[in-house]
Amino acid sequence: MGNLSPALRHRARMLAERTAGAAEPLGVTTGSAYELMLYKLSDDRRRLKSIQSVERKIEVKATMLPTYAQWIDGVLAGGKGAQDDVVATLLVWHIDTGEYDRALVIAAYCMEHKFTLPDGYSRDIPTMMLDEFAAAYLQGKLGDDPQHAVAVLGAVEAMTAASDAPDQARAKLHKAIGLAMVAVLDLQDATDIAPALLGQAGAAMVQLQRARALSESVGVKKDIERLERRIKRAADSS
């Protein structure tokens, strides 16, 4: 569906919207259109399973995602919250392929309606989001623009704040947010902190300390010590 004409894309989106709108809240999505999407997803997953390289899997997922765009848009526009395994799976795929802003939009719908991930996934959606978004930053996949990274990771923090999740997963997210905040400070000066930015530095410290409080093994001790020294120098010079 990625190469459909505008008219056919509109038709596909409307079909998804009607299908999602016909399903009861807290129920399960049904209907022939949904069954076709499940079949397509199953076929795509079989193709991915035959690929051994993780890097190559991600590349192939990126080529597959546009064919699901109209389904997702229709569900988000017309859905009442019925479980949709296609949308839940594609949430993960959007994170895998670095489509973080789009993933947040999908995640907001899934979290609001308490979606579960399909069989084959061992984590719930809040834990998966904490793990995967934190890893995306800590592994450098979300690090090109630290200000954008802070916004994305902050959205994940807010979205998952009320959810039960392992302390280690939440600690990793706080670490990622703290380090992204430090990276924003580094855009101004990688050594010293201007007195006017002490508030931002303090906010980064809060995140790193929270990460350490949740999990000693999260590995932020040295980061805290470095930031403490920078904050002290800035405070002494103000």
Name 227's Cβ contacts closer than 8 Å, sequence gap at least 6.
Answer: 182, 201, 204, 205, 208
Q: How many Å apart are CA 71 and CA 92, to the nearest integer?
A: 16
Find out whether 111 and 81 touch, Cβ atoms under 8 Å.
Answer: no
For 43-98, how does the pLDDT look when each residue is reduced to its tens digit (9 = 90+)?
A: 999 999 999 999 999 999 999 999 999 999 999 999 999 999 999 999 999 999 99
Question: Has residue 67 been placed in a domain?
Answer: yes
Judge if pTM exceeds 0.95: no
Within 10 angstroms of residue 129's Cβ, the number of other Cβ atoms is 28
Question: Has residue 24 been placed in a domain?
Answer: yes
Question: Has residue 13 been placed in a domain?
Answer: yes
Long-range own/partner contacts, residues 5-9 (CB < 8 A, 24 or more apart): 9/70
For 149-199, how does the pLDDT look when each residue is reduced to its tens digit (9 = 90+)?
A: 999 999 999 999 999 999 999 999 999 999 999 999 999 887 888 888 999
Report the percent of the chain where pLDDT is more than 90. 78
Question: Has residue 64 been placed in a domain?
Answer: yes
Q: How many Å apart are CA 51 and CA 60, to the nearest integer?
A: 9
Q: How many Å apart are CA 221 and CA 217, to the nearest integer?
A: 9
Find out whether 87 and 115 touch, Cβ atoms under 8 Å.
Answer: yes
Find out whether 51 and 113 touch, Cβ atoms under 8 Å.
Answer: no
Question: Has residue 87 been placed in a domain?
Answer: yes
Within 10 angstroms of residue 159's Cβ, the number of other Cβ atoms is 20
Question: Has residue 43 been placed in a domain?
Answer: no
Question: Has residue 96 been placed in a domain?
Answer: yes
Number of domains in the chain: 1
Give the per-residue pLDDT at 237: 75
Q: How many Å apart are CA 68 and CA 97, to the nearest integer?
A: 14
Q: How many Å apart are CA 117 and CA 125, to the nearest integer?
A: 7
For 85-108, how does the pLDDT look when each residue is reduced to its tens digit (9 = 90+)?
A: 999 999 999 999 999 999 999 999
Question: Has residue 77 been placed in a domain?
Answer: yes
What single string gives the DSSP state of each residue in 32-47? HHHHHHHHHHHHHHHH
Distances (CA, A) of 171 to 41, 149, 225: 33, 17, 17
Q: Which residues pair with 208 in a beta bridge?
A: none
Give the range of the structural domain holding residue 12, as residue numbers without chain letter: 1-35+48-122
Find out whether 47 and 56 touch, Cβ atoms under 8 Å.
Answer: no
